[in-house]
Amino acid sequence: MLRLLRGFRVPVLLLSQAEGIEDVLLLRPTGAAGGAQGDVLGHLYRTQRLPLVRLAVLVVGDQATAEDVVQDAFAEVCRRWRALDDGTSVVPYLRRAVVNGARSVLRRRRVANAFRPDRQHHVHSAEDAALLLGEHRALLAALHRLAPRQREILALRYWVGLSEAEIAETMGISRGAVKSMAHRSLAALRNRLEG
């Protein structure tokens, strides 16, 4: 299934994963600049999509929403490509966009849950349950009982493998705050896993 995303300076076609294709086709405008941009965006998508989806899954809790958050982040990069002409600023921008998008999803969920009369707990599909081992389920459950900022710190540090400086840049906080939040987050996670 092909979907054409409109509103971009460079039209983008996303190919569905059901077809077994995990790539972005950029319809390049004529000229060398469009081709170079398309090559860079295609490379970014191929190399950064999976780590960003993993990060978003840890923050929002389900893969479908995480993929939507990451797709929105890449769409925003396409819209803002000219402002992000420095090649070193694109990956941190993508990470920050994913974290901010995940925060927005959590805020919308919180508001929706506050007005939902019958609170039903999310039930994982049979596929999700089969993929997650018992200890992974316990870890993910403990992670989701943490505060959102604590989840973000742990996901960025231990899942994505970012340095303290990169986390500070992604979250817009100081390195000292990253260190103290990571320490408190690990202690909170340990208490939830033990108790």
Q: Which segments of the chain have a pLDDT < 50?
A: 1-34
**What's residue 96's pLDDT?**
92
Task: Give dist(CA 96, CA 169) in Å, integer.
Answer: 8
**What's residue 158's pLDDT?**
87
| Reported pTM | 0.55
Quick count: other Cβ atoms within 10 Å of Cβ 96?
15
Task: Give dist(CA 41, CA 8) in Å, integer.
Answer: 13
**What's residue 105's pLDDT?**
94
Q: Print burial letters for 114-148: b (CB count within 10 Å at least 16), e (below 16).
A: eeeeeeeeeeeeeeeeeeeeeeeeeeeebbeebeb
**What's residue 26's pLDDT?**
42
**What's residue 75's pLDDT?**
92
**What's residue 175's pLDDT?**
93
Close Cβ partners of 193 (under 8 Å, ≥ 6 residues apart): 138, 139, 142
**What's residue 5's pLDDT?**
43
